Amino acid sequence: MNDRPALTSVPEPAGPRPADDADAARRAIDDLARRLGRSGLAPALLLLLESFRPLLFLGGQVAIGLTPFLSLMVSRAHLDALTGLLSDRDRTSRFMDRLSEEAGR
């Protein structure tokens, strides 16, 4: 009666695995900090981030809300990376630590 094949296994969800996502975030943070260090902007950005540290999470949430508008000016991948960085305190701290290392070079 039922011509459908039996489901023998559940497929894995599409997309990156959490470990892959964490590694990609680490690489992106390191790359961004390195580029900012080479450009000479690291000390100024570090001062700015330290000054606004209590508001960074809120800024990330505002950026998420403005995604439809901001995506007209910035690629979605860059916007997702920025909102992820600002919304996660651990990532923000890691970025600021890496930026501080680059500023000291």
CB atoms within 10 A of CB 68: 7
Q: Per-residue pLDDT tens for 10-27? A: 444 455 555 567 788 888
Q: What is the DSSP string of 1-57?
A: ---SPP--SPPPPSS--HHHHHHHHHHHHHHHHHHHHHHT-HHHHHHHHHHTGGGHH
Give me the residue spans of the domains in the chain: 21-103
Q: What is the mean pLDDT of the chain?
A: 81
The enclosing H or E element of 79 equals helix 76-87
Rounded to whole angstroms, how far apart are CA atoms 60 and 52? 12
- Predicted local distance difference test score (pLDDT) of residue 4: 57
